Amino acid sequence: MQNDYSVADYLLDRLAGCGIHHLFGVPGDYNLQFLDNVIQHPAVHWVGCANELNAAYAADGYGRCQGAGALLTTFGVGELSAINGVAGSFAEYVPVLQIVGAPCRSVQQRGELLHHTLGDGDFSHFWRMYEPISAAQAVLTAQNACYEIDRVIRTMLSESRPGYLMLPADVAKMAATPPVNVITPSPLQPNEARLDSFRHRVQAMLSESPHVALLADFLAHRFGVQKMLQCWMKDSPIPHATLLMGKGLFDETQPGFVGTYSGAASPPQVREAIEGADTVICVGVRFTDTITAGFTQQLPAARTIDIQPFSARVGEEWFSGISMQDAVNTLISVCRNNPRCVLDPVPEPSARSPYHSGTLSQHTFWQTLQAFIRPGDILLADQGTAAFGAASLRLPAEVEMLTQPLWGSIGYCLPAAFGAQTACPERRVILLSGDGAAQLTIQELGSMLRDGQRPIILLLNNDGYTVERAIHGAHQRYNDIARWNWTHIPHALSHDCQAECWRVSETVQLAEALEAASHHHRLALIEVMLPQADLPDLLRDVTHALETRNS
């Protein structure tokens, strides 16, 4: 053991132990000394961001690809800038550890009027603001630091949601001993009797169901059953789909995959395959407004088996205390022994060839992109026409797709792409962002260039907030944005700019730019000019549903 081993080192060793090898954030005087430990740490690298909101988004993107992420901010001003991003991680079940460098314990106890406080001597305001958006919080002290670090990290991993640590500068420096074990999520103890009743109910329901379908969504990814579902669908496929939040769970080119389910706004063959089944097995699904075109799904409880992270429902009957893994294992074994759980022929979607002529529209844009995506890509689509258009893509094997349709904070995807590329430097990252969204968080393009990243960025320029125009106020000036010269931005954000930029308005130009981008070893920014009022089909239904619900 090193003599000067401290709480700071212990925390960093814990991060590395959960596979977190990059810490995103912004320095401040309350975390500067901790940052010296970060710089010296052999397995955790500091990744400075342009602001804390971006750091939170980057840690979230990193966490979705790596299993967990972390960010470091300073007290008050820093952590409150990050709060939107961490709330998104909470809503969408991404384990991100928020570490806040705070004033020393003694000055907190004296209630001194310090900078970055509200000037009232109360240092608890901000961690209390984090209570509703983190699974566990701790204010570290000399007595509790290592124990509380472990507790918060374990809860974060078990619940797949953010954890919050307030780290006073003096506590970070206190002596500690290195951890001797690895933190693992607390497993739910299997209750054999309950699992047996669950199996019997599943058997009974499936034996009366000539047609069974599988609908999986993002919680299947977050709670670690993605590979099990993929193997199941590969070995003995049944008609299966995801919702937009879970897109990328399956190889969408495999037999049985029918498409992205969006309630009444689904393509007819998807709706028929899912809603027409006698029993639908839902794994990790949450029906939220935008991805169901305003809750238009027709999946009554009596015809569904619903697998959630820590419980399951068969018809109307709930079984608590069953882990998602155990429930999926049970389903797989029952389905394998049930001759009815086989694949009925599902009509293949019509083969699509990219258009290579004419002015770009939403239709030709998505067709051209479809032809460009290859196995293993990481695709990010921001809230707006980007995410809803991406629902229609058919993703090849091992494509990871990052969207944020529940929290829906525009601008999320650009920093998240920075985080994803940091986690997976060898994979091709394709970012789809609206012009409005990009204006919120574009600064992180500078960090991408600084770190030599080479994502392909498709900046969808439809001259303002198209999705908002479709909901309300098509011609109102509140839906206009400042017109930026997008292709100049990378040069403004980097001294030695290793980027290549295109502005395309013809389909053939887009296809050529994508082709060129995939061969050049530089960051690519393609500004895609699209008609202002053009919408992907799915978004037309979604915006109609949202306008109706708000009236």
Q: What is the CA radius of gyration of the chain?
A: 24
CB 472 to ligand TPP: min, Å: 11
Answer yes or no whether residue 441 interacts with ligand TPP by CB under 6 A.
no
Of 417, 389, 428, 427, the residue nearest 405 (C-alpha)? 389
Q: Kindly tell me which of 324 and 539 has the beta carbon lying closer to ligand TPP.
A: 539
Catalytic residue, from 434, 464, 479, 500: name it: 464
Of 329, 353, 346, the residue nearest 257 (C-alpha)? 346
CB 471 to ligand TPP: min, Å: 9
Answer yes or no whether residue 246 interacts with ligand TPP by CB under 6 A.
no
Of 516, 461, 453, 513, the residue nearest 484 (C-alpha)? 461
The window from 62-70, 120-128, 378-386, 495-503 that contacts ligand TPP (CB under 6 A) reads: 378-386
Answer yes or no whether residue 409 interacts with ligand TPP by CB under 6 A.
yes
| Beta carbons of 7 and 140 less than 8 angstroms apart | yes
Burial of 376 (0-12, 13-18, 19+ CB in 10 A): middle
Separation of alpha carbons 420 and 392, rounded Å: 22
Q: Kindly tell me which of 262 and 385 has the beta carbon lying closer to ligand TPP.
A: 385
Q: Provide the CB-side half-sphere exposure for 297 (13 A, CA).
A: 25
Answer yes or no whether residue 404 interacts with ligand TPP by CB under 6 A.
no
Q: Provide the mask over 459-478, with x wherever binding to ligand TPP is found by CB under 6 A and - wherever it is not.
A: -x-x--xxxx----------
Which DSSP state fits 262?
A: B
Nearest residue to ligand TPP, using CB? 434
Catalytic residue, from 45, 112, 115, 473: name it: 115
Query: Phi/psi of residue 37, each to 5°?
Result: -65, -40
Q: Has 52 been annotated as catalytic?
A: yes
Answer yes or no whether residue 435 interacts with ligand TPP by CB under 6 A.
yes
Q: Kindly tell me which of 273 and 440 has the beta carbon lying closer to ligand TPP.
A: 440
End-to-end CA distance of the chain: 65
Of 19, 149, 5, the residue nearest 424 (C-alpha)? 19
User: Which two three-digit tokens encode residue 1?
Assistant: 């053991």
Q: Has 200 been annotated as catalytic?
A: no
Q: Has 125 been annotated as catalytic?
A: no
Q: Kindly tell me which of 82 and 146 has the beta carbon lying closer to ligand TPP.
A: 82
Binding footprint of ligand TPP, residue count (CB under 6 A): 18
The window from 53-61, 147-155, 458-466, 494-502 that contacts ligand TPP (CB under 6 A) reads: 458-466
Q: Has 462 been annotated as catalytic?
A: yes
- The residues with which 101 forms a beta bridge, in sequence order, are 74, 167
Catalytic residue, from 25, 31, 41, 52: name it: 52
* Residues near 477 by beta carbon (within 8 Å), at least 6 away in sequence: none
Answer yes or no whether residue 384 interacts with ligand TPP by CB under 6 A.
yes
Position among 385, 421, 441, 447 found at the interface with ligand TPP (CB under 6 A): 385
Cα angle: 52, vertex 56, 57; to 5 degrees = 115
CB 77 to ligand TPP: min, Å: 19
Q: Kindly tell me which of 134 and 441 has the beta carbon lying closer to ligand TPP.
A: 441
Q: Kindly tell me which of 250 and 365 has the beta carbon lying closer to ligand TPP.
A: 365
- 217 C-beta neighbours (distance < 10 Å), count: 24
CB 415 to ligand TPP: min, Å: 13
Q: Kindly tell me which of 344 and 468 has the beta carbon lying closer to ligand TPP.
A: 468
Element (H, E) at 125: helix 125-130
Residue with tokens 């299993």: 67
Q: Has 217 been annotated as catalytic?
A: no
Position among 291, 410, 456, 517 found at the interface with ligand TPP (CB under 6 A): 410
Angle between helices 52-66 and 77-91 (to 10 degrees): 30
Q: Has 435 been annotated as catalytic?
A: yes
Cross-sheet strand order for the sheet of 400-402: 400-402, 378-381, 429-434, 456-461, 523-529, 499-504
CB 248 to ligand TPP: min, Å: 20
Answer yes or no whether residue 383 interacts with ligand TPP by CB under 6 A.
yes
Catalytic residue, from 411, 462, 479, 541: name it: 462
Active-site residues: which are they?
29, 52, 115-116, 408, 435, 462, 464, 468
Question: Which residues contact ligand TPP by CB under 6 A?
Answer: 382-386, 408-410, 434-437, 460, 462, 465-468
